[in-house]
Amino acid sequence: MVAELTRRLASGVATGDVAIRAAGLTDVGRQRDVNEDRLHVDIARGIFIVVDGVGGQAAGGRAADIALRMLRERLERQTGAVVDRVREAITIANNEIFHQAQQRPEWHGMACVLTVAVINERRLVIGHVGDTRLYVFHGGQARKLTPDHSPVGEREDARELSEIEAMRHPRRNEVFRDVGSTVHHLADREFIHVDDVAFPDDAALLICSDGLTDLVPLATIRQAVETCSGRPEAVVRTLVQAANDAGGKDNVTVVYAEGVRFATRAAVDPARGPVPAVRDRRSSSGVWKGFFAGLLIAAGLGGWWAWHEGLIGRDLVVGTIAPAPQAGAIVVRAGESIAEAIARAEPGFSIVVEPGEYRERLTLRDHVRVISRVPRGVTLRRPSESIADDAVVTAVGVMGAELSGFRIVGDDAAPLDVGVLTRDGSTRLVDLEISGARTAAVAFGPGDDVLVASDIRDNPGAAIVAAPGASPRIAHNRFARNGTLATAPFAFEPGAVPQISGNVFQGIQARTLAGLGDETMQALPADNVFIEPRPAASSARPSPAPRSR
């Protein structure tokens, strides 16, 4: 049956409660050729990220890309407490960078520094490693909530150096803690700085790389934030311009988010007087130029300024989170049809499914996300009228689809042959639990699919079947008790080239994943965890081993 399935795959025969405004901008600067900074502004989930690559051009940028991808994969899977999610996301990113750095000499030593912020129910959860920074503005005050993991930053935090002295220090760019240079575990509490603080709707936050804070003093940053409050894109443009006018010696990245009442409070706050104009002694004209850019934007001339200064076309992200339901989201309630919602969704839509049991087959569509509102709160079973060997979820020739947070279950009442079947596309399968499949829990045909953070267990058939030409990324999943009916727990056909890392394989050995190339097989034990089956218990009690004193 597995062989038949792989032939079918290869041949193509297969049927928030606080409103928030936010923006982010990254720029290469005036003295660099490559931008190793990355940013992420997720206005739907309240996730904000700045990553600064370390290791030089290709390596630093690659480390930043890996970190951003892994952070998103874990944080977008909204299971567990937010603090635990943030800590786990950074640890996963760290270990993935480290493992990939071992694969090519030019990547050795690559790493990054980063700051993650998640706003959830008027709380701000922060995860931080390195010398990127997060500031919160509230009640006329600006507070830095992230320590600098660097020799100079540590002295500045201890007030042994003034801000200007630290900005000019020759060791300013050194860090003693980063993401990716060595393996870390969740139990390592000294690795990640994590904080959980209140974030009312009259507060604002700013995350930035050291390309800003090495050149622009906090007083000037605060002035730009308060002058341009209510216009996040004006804040980030003004600050990037101020850094470039002060020399632009490094990539500069700014992510800014504010509650809806911040602009009103910043304008009328009686607890403070006028904000003093603070000049950067190294480039006072540059700071004033950045400040007046903010005034121009505030006066409605931002379009002209952006065109004149070359800001149009940079990596700018702008958006708003509102308590009201998002446009482009279809909610499916118990008793309604998920398949019908998918059929009427447009590219870019999200199908949000309320908890319950649904008996139907799903055919995914291009750029449509299907998400369980409560992770694994939706159970999907084969409808009784369908053919038993049909896949419950199918994505054939589909690009950019996602299925997240579902339980797919087979049993005697509703036998399940294949849980998910993909072919000739790119589909993300996130946080799934699949059990009871008689042939395959997930069957990959040719394509670039992703299976991440899922629990594939108790399937009589194979956990994974991959046909020739399949190149799925299989990462950070748990596999247990699969292939129990004399079927191999994994079936990788010749020509399948999966990327397998960060998984836990329970009760099997690495050699069980037969069919992979020699290089992949050699990397499996280092990149994954194999918990071998325990030997059968013996009725005879063994004699105790001799012990030296």
Instruction: List the CATH number of the domain containing 333.
Output: 2.160.20.10
Lowest mean pLDDT among 30-39, 52-61, 290-299: 290-299
**Does residue 458 share a domain with residue 343?**
yes
Q: Would you place residue 166 in the very low, low, confident or very high pLDDT band (cuts 50, 70, 90)?
A: confident
For 222-240, write each residue's pLDDT tens digit: 999 999 998 999 999 999 9
**Does residue 342 share a domain with residue 317?**
no
Answer with the one of 286, 321, 356 that is the final residue of a domain: 321
Give the whole-angstrom CA distance, residue 411 versus residue 400: 31
**Does residue 372 share a domain with residue 261?**
no
How many separate domains does the chain show?
A: 2
Domain range for 209: 20-321
The two three-digit tokens of residue 192, written as one number: 């990640």
The pLDDT value recorded for residue 519 is 79
Mean pLDDT of the chain: 81
**Does residue 401 share a domain with residue 304?**
no
Q: Would you place residue 273 in the very low, low, confident or very high pLDDT band (cuts 50, 70, 90)?
A: very low
The two three-digit tokens of residue 189, written as one number: 């509490």
With pLDDT > 70 as the criterion, what percentage of the chain qualifies? 80
Q: Would you place residue 538 in the very low, low, confident or very high pLDDT band (cuts 50, 70, 90)?
A: very low
Answer with the one of 279, 295, 321 that is the final residue of a domain: 321
In a domain, 259, yes or no: yes
Q: Is residue 42 scored above 50 in pLDDT? A: yes
What average pLDDT does range 243-271 have in this prediction?
A: 82
Q: Would you place residue 303 in the very low, low, confident or very high pLDDT band (cuts 50, 70, 90)?
A: very low
Q: Is residue 388 scored above 80 in pLDDT? A: no
The pLDDT value recorded for residue 11 is 44
**Does residue 197 share a domain with residue 301?**
yes
**Does residue 405 share a domain with residue 492?**
yes
The pLDDT value recorded for residue 318 is 55
**Does residue 371 share a domain with residue 316?**
no
Give the whole-angstrom CA distance, residue 227 versus residue 457: 55
**Does residue 27 share a domain with residue 8?**
no
**Does residue 194 share a domain with residue 124?**
yes
Domain with residue 188: its CATH number is 3.60.40.10
Decide: pTM greater than 0.85.
no
What average pLDDT does range 290-310 have in this prediction?
A: 34
The pLDDT value recorded for residue 307 is 30
Q: Is residue 312 scored above 80 in pLDDT? A: no
Question: Of 202, 326, 195, 218, which is closest to residue 258 (Cα–Cα)?
Answer: 202
Give the whole-angstrom CA distance, residue 15 versus residue 267: 60
**Does residue 341 share a domain with residue 296?**
no
Answer with the one of 321, 339, 368 that is the final residue of a domain: 321
The pLDDT value recorded for residue 326 is 43
Helix (H, G, I), strand (E, B) or coil at 299: coil
Give the whole-angstrom CA distance, residue 51 versus residue 73: 15
